[in-house]
Amino acid sequence: MSDVADFPYFALSEDHRELQAVLRELCTEKIAPHAAEVDETGEFPRASYEALRASDFHAPHIPEEYGGVGADALATCLVIEEVARACASSSLIPAVNKLGTLPLVLGGGEELKKKYLTPVAAGEAMFSYGLSEREAGSDTASMRTRAVRDGDDWILNGQKSWITNAGESRFYTVLAVTDPDGRRGRNIGAFVVEAGDPGFGWGAKERKLGIKGSPTRELHLDNVRLPGDRLVGKPDEGLQLALRTLDHTRVTIGAQAVGIAQGALDHAVAYVKERKQFGKHLAEFQGLQFMLADMAMAVESARQMVYAAAARSERDDADLGFFGAAAKCYASDVAMRVTVDAVQLLGGAGYVSDHPVERMMRDAKITQIYEGTNQIQRLVMARALLK
């Protein structure tokens, strides 16, 4: 843990503020108008994807040498936060593109990076991440998917569960056991699987509480033969790459949670300023003012924690594991609490889909679960403190 004097910068630069303003306008005009329909139909937010691609916000983290804009970690969080403020499902486009590609960025060879990062940066493909399985969620090291070497190739068999944007993405980072007799956690490799690979497919879309516009499916691998150059790094370092990836991308889930919470707070404030009861606007009642103050205080605290973690992510600080877990855990708990309070402030109106806060409440819940449940985040933090 760093000394207080070493606490990192996280103030927004002028460039960051300009980016935020551009994003706010884009999301208001091109993404928010489709959010309710996306939630109702469960269809992938195609209009959002096109708007993000046209503005180079679909995968802003990809370095310039591969055709990306090379956004820093804080700028990437700003993208995800602003999109989530309008539509949580749409915010998973840049978030999952980062999740899927980051193992390559962290541990892939140059040819692998050029081959797969370039089309994602160009908006020609999306990239998903296959780590969890039916019986290996929090306990990732107990995965059963196998990768068997056959000459220069690898043959993969198994399944992956809860894969975000599966069926829409063209590329997938898939973790598989490469040595069943090897040391637990040091016997797993990471591989790039393409949608067209023979034997690779996905199941039906899961029916979910929220983020309905982002498809979640199982991946199925039936004797999928991959050339050796699809291995990311070494055959025994896949899980380490996966966990390093999560240290960084948990910060982006924190940003998503902040965006959802801010969207709910914005709508609640507008509603209580307009709605009248007992001859007064709801905003004039002190009890409701206190609720709004607590909501805003929590959102801003979460935002500052996410931005501080993003600064550490950019520098790849040694204590990123603690701060990434803390940002994700705290921000997602705030998102759940703030969206529930927003529904309460709107009363009966908050409980129906005419207003977006009930959608935001449903969307917020997943931020406490994916990329490691908040119980797991607390374990990560505690272990960092006690190490």
3-state secondary structure of 129: strand
pLDDT, position 7: 43
Residue 12 is predicted with a pLDDT of 86
Q: How far is CA 221 from CA 158, 196, 202, 207, in A?
A: 5, 12, 9, 22
Residue of 310, 358, 354, 352 whose CA lies nearest to 331? 310
Give the DSSP H/E element, type plus range, for residue 121: helix 110-121
**Alpha-carbon distance 110 to 89, whole Å?**
32
CA–CA dist 88, 91 (Å, integer): 5
Q: What is the mean pLDDT of each run of 10 residues along the chain (387 residues)?
A: 45 91 97 98 98 98 98 97 98 98 98 98 98 92 97 98 98 98 96 98 98 98 98 97 97 98 98 96 97 98 97 96 98 98 98 97 98 97 96
Q: What is the pLDDT of residues 253-296, one digit of tens each?
A: 999 999 999 999 999 999 999 999 999 999 999 999 999 999 99
Q: Which alpha helices (DSSP H) does 275-319 contain, by range?
A: 286-315
Strand locations in 59-207, DSSP E? 127-130, 146-150, 153-164, 171-177, 188-194, 200-202
Quick one: which H or E segment has residue 109? none
Residue 206 appears among annotated catalytic residues: no
Catalytic residue, chosen from 133, 237, 314, 371, is 371
Structural domains of the chain, ranges and CATH numbers in brackets: 4-126 (1.10.540.10), 128-236 (2.40.110.10), 240-386 (1.20.140.10)
pLDDT of residue 11: 72
Buried/exposed 335-349: b ≥16 CB within 10 Å, e otherwise: bbbbbbbbbebbeee
Q: How many residues does the chain have?
A: 387
pLDDT for 4 equals: 37
